[in-house]
Homo-oligomer: A and B are copies of this chain.
């Protein structure tokens, strides 16, 4: 199942066979995480990283009144907390939005891996920088895009990211989240997400129902979202 992770890495850089072997050897064990479980709590000292093999997890922060902001969604192939390798503790929580399977990688092994292969240090450094790029695009959405464009943009992003690891067809993808989950990504209320999903559906752009996203008009969807995948750094380039 680590294949999706390698797909993600190889979409952006060359990974040699030796490096691949070293990456495969780094996983200590696999684990299942039930839906809705808070998997990592902020400010707890960590000594492992978590590679998501299946399911959807999210990073989120919340306010005292309980309002929650999801800051990034993670899909299979993503390290959900690679930044803990240098941060040592996280400034946010991580939870499973669906039932998940994860692989545990001790920091110690990442240390060895990156000291033995400085190139992989840069590949993984790139990985955390990619997360930051996604954060920036979300900041743009949250600060400036209208509700409909925000939703459209998120659905575009997931289409591309899931497609990269073989989890989307050319028509759509599975997304077993609730409208409330989406609202927490988008800085909106569930009610308004529902209204805007209806609008996108009526415009023939996308349909989101029973855990599945149907892309009806990819060009049109990208247009109203002002989506360009450039921030996902899909080109292969040596680090």
The answer to the question of A71 belonging to the interface, with a C-beta cut-off of 8 Å to chain B, is yes
Residues of B contacting A187 in the complex (Cβ-Cβ under 8 angstroms): 142-144
Instruction: In the complex, identify which listed stretch (A132-140, A169-177, A196-204) lies at the interface while the others stay far away.
Output: A132-140
Which single residue of chain B is at the shortest CB-CB distance from A135?
Answer: B135
Report the count of interface residues on A (CB-CB < 8 A).
50
Chain B residues in 8 Å Cβ range of A130: 87
Could you list which residues of chain A lie within 8 angstroms of chain B, going by C-beta atoms? 42-43, 59, 61-64, 67-69, 71-72, 83, 85-88, 91-92, 114-115, 118, 121-122, 125-126, 128-133, 135-140, 142-145, 186-187, 226, 230-231, 233, 237, 239
Of the candidates B61, B114, B226, which one forms a contact with A140 in the assembled complex, judged by CB atoms under 8 Å apart?
Answer: B61
Task: Determine the distance from Cα of A237 to Cα of B230 in the docked complex, in whole angstroms.
Answer: 35
* Residue in B59, B63, B115, B128 whose beta carbon sits within 8 Å of that of A118 in the complex: B115
State how many angstroms separate the Cβ of A22 from the closest Cβ of chain B: 16
Give Cα A61 to B231, complex, Å. Answer: 11
Q: Please indicate the chain B residues that have their CB under 8 angstroms from the CB of A69 in the complex.
A: 139-140, 143-144
Other A-B pairs beyond A69-B144, A121-B121, 5, CB < 8 Å: A69-B139, A91-B230, A135-B139, A142-B142, A144-B187
Please list 27 pairs of residues, one from A and one from B, whose beta carbons are closer than 8 Å in the complex, sorted by A's number: A42-B230, A59-B136, A61-B137, A63-B144, A63-B226, A64-B226, A69-B139, A69-B140, A69-B143, A71-B135, A71-B140, A72-B136, A83-B129, A87-B126, A87-B129, A87-B130, A88-B239, A91-B230, A91-B231, A118-B121, A121-B125, A125-B125, A131-B132, A135-B135, A135-B136, A135-B139, A143-B186
